[in-house]
Amino acid sequence: MLRYKAYQFRLYPNQEQTILIAKTIGCSRFVFNHFLDLWNTTYAETGKGLSYNACSAMLPKMKREEETGWLKEVDSIALQSSLQHLADSFARFFRNQNDKPNFKSKNNPVQSYTTKNVNNSIEVKEKHVKLPKLGLVTFAKSRQPKGRILSATLRKNASGKYFVSLLCEEEIHEWPKAESVIGVDLGITDFAILSDGQKKDNDAFTSQMEKKLKREQRKLSRRALVAKKDGKELSQAKNYQKQKRKVARLHEKVANQRMDFLNRLSTELIKNHDVICIEDLNTKGLLRNHKLAKSISDVSWSSFVSKLQYKADWYGRDIIKVDRWFPSSKLCSTEGCGYKAPSMPLTVRDWVCPICHVHHDRDINASRNILIEGLRLHAMK
């Protein structure tokens, strides 16, 4: 079946290409903000917003005007894509799917623009990727994109690195049946506890880097104070900007490590099991617990579940979500027992069932109960 799949690569643009990327990002941001302001004004005056077609028709005129003639220097499709993003944001807002669109700032740590593939304007050629207006750009080709390239999103991170994401339409084939089912209990000390007794260690990437991050962030704060004392804008303070990029690179390294771990684990589970039963966690609610918020944010449960879901859709697997109120930790998972403990505080890591006298590891027992409940729900589908 045809699916959309994105391939991300690091770009190494030359100086001329770097300048043009910066111009395109700036022009795309200007178009987004200009029409967002016009949309808000029109709505306030008439009670109705604009449409993508109405805004798109105004762009050619803006390029001919003296004040905004510089818009024609960059990729026109990137400007149209910026308008499309604005229209999509308003459409989702009116469907109560997200908040009202906000103005984009040049101070955001990540800056990007999207362009579409028209008449093979985007192609992968050996060690280069061809992009509209930029021509051939050197990139780190870690794998070969498959299928038809639909669009490309160029991004500049806070670390100063450039990346391109190629969105492709390709044929995804379902994997053969594994004849196996698994229950997964997500935790903090151990990231994932499986019903077969395995525990997948949480590498706690942020906590490992915490001391170094604190040290570099203190340096950043001191350099901000020095710049303020010297009467300099932070954007003009070279030492501050240099340290800011260093801190951003550390955060980026942590994010990459976490993403690699989540991708490997989700692929392993999808590849080896036909049905994966998992608890439907209320991550947003749990993050309100200030004692656990940092740890929960570090382990990225929601990102992991999202990866499991889309890979299951691609490769013909089933994800069964068990209700968050299901007492997986309190129930005895021994077949034929089903004893439910009256309470189970987080400090209790193992317990003995008073009925069948089986010793339970709290987390493994919970994952087995999640599997049992998940298979029951699966049978009812």
Residue type, 312: A
Q: Are 50 and 42 in contact (CB under 8 A)?
A: yes
**Cβ-based neighbour number of residue 152 at 10 Å:** 25
Q: Which three-class secondary structure state does DSSP give residue 62?
A: helix
**Residue 363 designated active-site:** yes
Pairing of strands 162-171, 148-156: antiparallel
Q: Please name every residue paired with 322 in a beta bridge, in sequence order, or none if there are none.
A: 279
What's the rounded Cα separation, in Å, for the pair 351 and 341?
A: 10
Identified catalytic residue from 274, 298, 363, 373: 363
**Cβ-based neighbour number of residue 332 at 10 Å:** 22
**Residue 210 designated active-site:** no
Identified catalytic residue from 75, 216, 274, 279: 279
**Tokens in use for 185?**
């209990």
**DSSP annotation string for 131-181:** ETTTEEEEE---S---SEEEEEEEEE-TTS-EEEEEEEEEE-PPPPP---E
Find tokens 């049992």 and name the residue: 372
**Residue 179 designated active-site:** no
What's the rounded Cα separation, in Å, for the pair 203 and 37?
A: 45
Find tokens 């690569």 and name the residue: 9
Identified catalytic residue from 75, 185, 216, 373: 185
Strand order in the sheet with 275-279: 199-201, 190-194, 181-186, 275-279, 318-322
Pairing of strands 181-186, 190-194: antiparallel
What's the chain's Rg over C-alpha atoms?
26
Find tokens 């109705």 and name the residue: 48
Q: Which three-class secondary structure state does DSSP give residue 353?
A: coil
Residue 337 carries which DSSP code?
A: T
Active site residues: 185, 279, 363
